[in-house]
């Protein structure tokens, strides 16, 4: 039996990361403690250099902490070796990147199906799920388009569809609206919110952009590698947005 606290998806405990630069020590993350729950949209907000990417990299197991740990679904990702981590990520974690990170040689459909190739899913099943996700992000007419034949907003919608493929419990996004104009950013955020809510998944967005917090249930403000404050957004305040979306 895995030891999982009820509904806690991610547990960050006494996390610290020090980079050594020549003789200098750079404390990128220090004394970080927080949890992310099932169904929660969490925004980690901070200026450039505050430690956001370092934190996200440790949550994704890409970087080892100097001290403390990150558990996802009760498993310590900060301890896993590369092979175990790769399998764990394929099963449980989706990623959205600022620069989309799509494969230019592949179509939208192929890009979205790709994570399922690694999971050994049959082609028919891959195509079915990828099509349904591309439809959910409003790109059912762009299945055969390649990244260079799409706008930034469309490429990011493909990136979002890809991150949800295989229904991972948690999706990590690093500055997902960083390359988009403000109108497209709002569309992309509302889309991510809808997908997360539909399946009760969890979303962690790391950003310097305050506008991104419009979809957040929880905002973690970071400053110089530490948590400055945590703000919980009440359901009622967000009620209007949710009601509008349900009617649409």
Residues that bind ligand ADP (CB under 6 A): 19, 21, 26, 28, 46, 48-54
Radius of gyration for the alpha carbons in the chain, expressed in angstroms and rounded: 18
* Closer to ligand ADP by Cβ: residue 50 or 163: 50
Mutual angle of helices 235-247 and 182-199, in 10-degree steps: 90
Stretch that binds Mg ion, among 47-55, 91-99, 193-201, 212-220 (CB under 5 A): 47-55
Establish if 179 lies at the interface with Mg ion (CB under 5 A).
Answer: no
41: which strand partners?
203
Residue among 110 and 174 whose Cβ is closer to ligand ADP: 174
Whose tokens are 């959910």? That residue is: 136
Structure tokens at 210: 């305050």
Record the tokens describing residue 36, joined without a space. 């992310």
Q: Which of 149, 150, 153 is nearest to 184 (CA)?
A: 153
Report if residue 53 touches Mg ion, rule: CB under 5 A: yes
Query: Pick from 50, 80, 47, 48: which is nearest to 63 by CA?
Result: 80
Rounded to whole angstroms, the Cα distance separating 50 from 107 reads 36
User: What minimum distance in Å lies between the beta carbon of 62 and ligand ADP?
Assistant: 11
Name the residue nearer to ligand ADP (CB basis): 26 or 103.
26
Scanning 46-54, 110-118, 147-155, 157-165 for contacts with Mg ion by CB under 5 A, the matching segment is 46-54
By beta-carbon proximity to Mg ion, the closer residue of 34 and 97 is 97
Partner that binds at residue 104, options Mg ion, ligand ADP, none, CB closer than 5 to 8 Å by kind: none
What percent of the residues of the chain are helix, what percent strand, and what percent coil, each to the nearest 5? Answer: 40, 30, 30
Interacting partner of 19 out of Mg ion, ligand ADP, none (Cβ under 5 to 8 A depending on kind)? ligand ADP
Largest CA distance in the chain: 59
Choose the contact partner of 223 out of ligand ADP, Mg ion, none; CB within 5 to 8 A by kind. none
- Please identify the residue of the shown chain whose CB is closest to the bound Mg ion: 53
CA 243 from chain center: how many Å?
24
- Provide the minimum distance between the beta carbon of 114 and Mg ion in the complex, in angstroms, as a whole number: 25
By beta-carbon proximity to Mg ion, the closer residue of 45 and 134 is: 45
Alpha carbon 53 to its chain's center: 12
Query: Which position has the token pair 């439809």?
Result: 135
- The minimum distance between CB 225 and ligand ADP, in angstroms, equals 7
| 124 binds, options Mg ion, ligand ADP, none, Cβ within 5 to 8 A by partner type | none
90 binds Mg ion (CB under 5 A): no
Chain residues binding Mg ion by CB under 5 A are 52-53
């Amino acid at each position: 039996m895995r030891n999982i606290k009820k509904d806690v998806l991610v547990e960050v405990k006494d996390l610290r990361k020090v980079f050594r630069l020549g003789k200098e020590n750079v404390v990128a993350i220090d004394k970080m403690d927080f949890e992310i729950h099932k169904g929660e949209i969490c925004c980690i907000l901070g200026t450039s250099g505050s430690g956001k990417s370092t934190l996200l990299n440790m949550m994704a197991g890409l970087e080892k902490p100097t001290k403390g740990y990150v558990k996802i679904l009760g498993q310590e990702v900060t301890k896993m070796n590369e092979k175990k981590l790769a399998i764990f990520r394929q099963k449980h974690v989706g990623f959205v990147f600022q620069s989309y990170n799509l494969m230019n040689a592949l179509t939208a459909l192929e890009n979205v199906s790709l994570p399922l190739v690694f999971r050994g899913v049959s082609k028919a099943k891959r195509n079915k799920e990828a099509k349904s996700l591309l439809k959910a992000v409003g790109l059912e007419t762009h299945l055969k388009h390649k990244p260079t034949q799409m706008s930034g907003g469309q490429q990011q919608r493909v990136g979002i569809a890809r991150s949800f493929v295989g229904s991972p419990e948690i999706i990590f996004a690093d500055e997902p609206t960083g390359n988009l104009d403000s109108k497209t950013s709002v569309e992309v955020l509302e889309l991510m919110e809808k997908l997360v809510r539909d399946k009760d998944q969890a979303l962690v967005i790391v950003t310097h952009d305050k506008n991104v917090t419009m979809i957040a249930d929880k905002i973690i403000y970071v400053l110089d590698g530490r948590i400055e404050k945590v703000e919980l957004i009440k359901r009622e305040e967000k009620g209007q947005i949710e009601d509008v979306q349900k009617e649409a």
